[in-house]
Structure 1
Amino acid sequence: MSDDWEFGYCTNVHAGGTLQQALDSLDRYAVEVRDQITPRGRLPVGLWFSEQAVESLLSEDRASWLRQWIDQRNLIAYTFNGFPQGDFHRPVVKHDVYQPTWLCQSRAKYTQSLALLMKELLPEGRPGSISTLPLGWPHAPWHAEDFRLAADHLLSVARFLDRISQQRGSEIVLALESEPGCLLDSADDMLEFFEKYLLRGPDAHLARQYLTVCHDVCHSSVMFAPQRRALDSYRSAGIRVGKVQISSAIHVPWNEAADQPAAQKSMLQQVQSFCEPKYLHQTTRCEQNGNLEALSEDL
């Protein structure tokens, strides 16, 4: 991808388990954001479509219809969130958002389907990106053969993306998104996986071109990782950043209120409001010596 960054509005926070729900959300939210930011221009948007919605669009040959629908609203579909494969807006999601993992062929197939859809939606000559999960959640220990299998599936997608690039003349990249608690939850984990399993062998050149990192500012903050250090480490390793997601993380200055019981009580009440059944809200505590303690089960 070029060094010119393009900013867009992420829409997967809005309900969109079905195609019609996704379109309704774009009409309701993305169009309003466009009117506020660039009323006479076009707004780049990040889209999320469930596996069911994507297969429906491709099997019924409705991709060209969808592009026309998006164009009519002066939107540009330039990136996909390929992290949730199932319904991201059902009543309880929690750890199911990490299924299937990259051990499963179905994860690679879904990602390839997203690439086929993106190829039809992107304006000619324009690059695109698809973010995906950092392999999975460690419900059970992963061994070397597991990481190799996941890498094989990722490399198969890289080869697929290369074929698409040869056809359309501009590239679509896949971006692995580190997330607290996952198998790759930090820049160091991501670097190790790339260097050990992706950047070796006959397809290393394809891995460097089409397998990139999605740097999530919120996730990095939850891990108390300086943003610049993470990005510099990718640059030094020659790993491309294909996508950046900008959102906020909550910081609880507990030690600063050590002698203020009322303030600490208020902080706890605010944090407890995130204890709900639908999504995970990964939490990390940084001790005075710099050690991190994951509190993922607390919320």
Structure 2
Amino acid sequence: MRLLHPDGTTVHLGYCSNVHQAEDLAGVVSQLATYAEPVRRRLDVGRLGVGLWLARPVVSELVADERQLTRLRRELSARGLETVTLNAFPYAGFHREVVKQDVYLPDWADEARLTYTLDCARVLAALLPEDAERGSVSTLPLGWREPWPVERADTARRALDRLAAGLAAIEADTGRRIRVGFEPEPGCVVETTAQAARHLGGLDPERLGVCLDACHLAVGFEEPAAALRRLADAGLPVVKLQAACAVEATDPADPAARAALRRLAEPRFLHQTRTPRDTTAHGARDPAGAPDDGAVLGTDDLGEALDGGLPAGPAPWRVHFHAPLHADPEPPLRTTAGHLTDVLAGLLGGPAAHCDHIEVETYTWSVLPVPPTDLPGGIAAELAWARDRLTALGLKEDHPE
């Protein structure tokens, strides 16, 4: 979907296809018919944005064979779909039985990450609608926090300079500007907006910036207005917003809350858990560079927190579990939907639009305690939720002629 901000900016709203399992081109094309087009029809819109996740084998095929790239472009168009953004955070194997920390490999100290990201940018330049101002690619925040010695940090920083140069070359060749956003995530080298300013400040702002995931921001207990000011002061544009909600237990000592959380502690994805710092806590990690240093304690997975890694009260827990935007989790748990609403307001509620790519990214539908029987209906409901929050801020739907 496209919406118009009062300042005239076209804001693209879509959903991320990493919720679907496919690591070959045939599977990606099948997704468009099985899920994306039905979502568009549920919403009764003429055009729907899909933020594609294209695993390394798919990208390799598309870069090597222009006919396949043309096929994908035609499939999108024929189904009333468009792509202005790619999610290049997972490299491959995102739907294996166990993913956990493997999702951060290869990291930005590995040549394979740079090559994959530039290949994604080339593919996106070919898929962009003719009237789209630019495209965006989201990527991991350098790597998992450890091991991250100085040598790897230096190698990664040099790779980012080469990334900017590669994006400039793609623009010179194609006339299409592609920007890459690094996505701060709990447990990574860049976990918070403070760390983003520290590690990513000074990059080329025309081509490199931040992909802000609202779930991750909430898990870190970062206040949206302050976080956005921090990024702006560091000269880091919000290239893309991933509209996502975390799960919150307001009273983690409540047996009902712990039982509900236990049902979310599943084996595929990592569910980092954070709580505001309590000086009586023992055994929890104190992430360096939190929004106010020492403001939060955390564990690398929900099971660790439940097994004693975090204090069970009185402060709330927030869990990196992407919850559907429009639906409440099992009581007494709740989501951080209010926090996401504040992020949207901070980016788009003022006289100027500070982000023009929004991607609903709930990849966890299949690992919910009760998986959906109607996935297109759930995705459509999430997009409607996001659209309604944006129109409440004064944006207007832009219907194609």
User: Is it true that 1:216 corresponds to 2:213 in the alignment?
Assistant: yes
User: Is it true that 1:268 corresponds to 2:258 in the alignment?
Assistant: yes
Question: 1:216 touches 1:245 (CA, 8 Å); kept in 2?
Answer: yes
Shift of 1:67: 0.3
Aligned residue number for residue 261 of structure 1: none
Shift of 1:235: 1.5
Shift of 1:84: 0.5
Deviation string 1:97-139 (CA, Å, 9 cap, x unpaired) is 0000100011000011101111111122521000000011123
Letter aligned with residue 47 of structure 2 = R
Distance in 2, matches of 1:3 and 1:147, equals: 36
Aligned residue number for residue 66 of structure 1: 72
User: Is it true that 1:84 corresponds to 2:74 in the alignment?
Assistant: no
SS at match of 1:55: helix
Shift of 1:24: 2.1
Question: 2:128 touches 2:135 (CA, 8 Å); kept in 1?
Answer: yes
Aligned residue number for residue 8 of structure 1: 14
Distance in 1, matches of 2:47 and 2:14, equals: 10
Aligned residue number for residue 135 of structure 1: 142
User: Is it true that 1:17 corresponds to 2:23 in the alignment?
Assistant: yes
Shift of 1:93: 0.6
Aligned residue number for residue 32 of structure 2: 26
Aligned residue number for residue 182 of structure 1: 188
Question: 1:16 touches 1:48 (CA, 8 Å); kept in 2?
Answer: no
Letter aligned with residue 43 of structure 1 = L
Question: 1:45 touches 1:76 (CA, 8 Å); kept in 2?
Answer: yes
Shift of 1:22: 2.2
Distance in 1, matches of 2:49 and 2:175, equals: 20
Change (3 A) 1:182 1:238: same
The one of 258, 266, 272 aligned to 1:282: 272
Letter aligned with residue 225 of structure 1 = E
Aligned residue number for residue 103 of structure 2: 97
Shift of 1:95: 0.6
User: Is it true that 1:252 corresponds to 2:249 in the alignment?
Assistant: yes
The one of 113, 130, 143 aligned to 1:124: 130
The one of 77, 100, 115 aligned to 1:109: 115
Letter aligned with residue 243 of structure 2 = I
Distance in 1, matches of 2:78 and 2:104, equals: 34
Query: Which stretch of structure 1 is more off in the superposition, 175-184 or 145-154?
Result: 145-154
Q: TM-score, structure 1 length as denominator?
A: 0.88
Question: 1:17 touches 1:89 (CA, 8 Å); kept in 2?
Answer: no
Aligned residue number for residue 36 of structure 1: 42
* Structure with the bigger percentage of helix: 1
Structure 1 residue ranges, 4+ long, deviating more than 6 angstroms after superposition = none
Deviation string 1:23-45 (CA, Å, 9 cap, x unpaired) is 22222221122112243x11111
Letter aligned with residue 225 of structure 2 = R
Distance in 1, matches of 2:25 and 2:263, equals: 31
Higher relative contact order (CA 8 A, sep 6+): 2
Change (3 A) 1:227 1:16: farther
Identical counterparts, % of pairs: 34
Distance in 2, matches of 1:286 and 1:118, equals: 40
Question: 2:125 touches 2:176 (CA, 8 Å); kept in 1?
Answer: no
Question: 1:58 touches 1:117 (CA, 8 Å); kept in 2?
Answer: yes
Letter aligned with residue 48 of structure 1 = W
Question: 1:179 touches 1:186 (CA, 8 Å); kept in 2?
Answer: yes
SS at match of 1:156: helix
Distance in 1, matches of 2:35 and 2:14, equals: 13
Deviation string 1:49-71 (CA, Å, 9 cap, x unpaired) is 11011101222321111101111
Distance in 1, matches of 2:111 and 2:257, equals: 44
Change (3 A) 1:5 1:229: farther
Distance in 2, matches of 1:59 and 1:4, equals: 32
Letter aligned with residue 121 of structure 1 = L
Shift of 1:4: 4.0
SS at match of 1:5: strand
Question: 1:125 touches 1:168 (CA, 8 Å); kept in 2?
Answer: no
Cα root mean square deviation, aligned:
1.8
The unaligned stretches of length 5 or more in structure 2 are 1-7, 280-293, 304-401
Aligned residues: 280
The unaligned stretches of length 5 or more in structure 1 are 259-263
Question: 2:140 touches 2:184 (CA, 8 Å); kept in 1?
Answer: yes
Change (3 A) 1:32 1:239: same
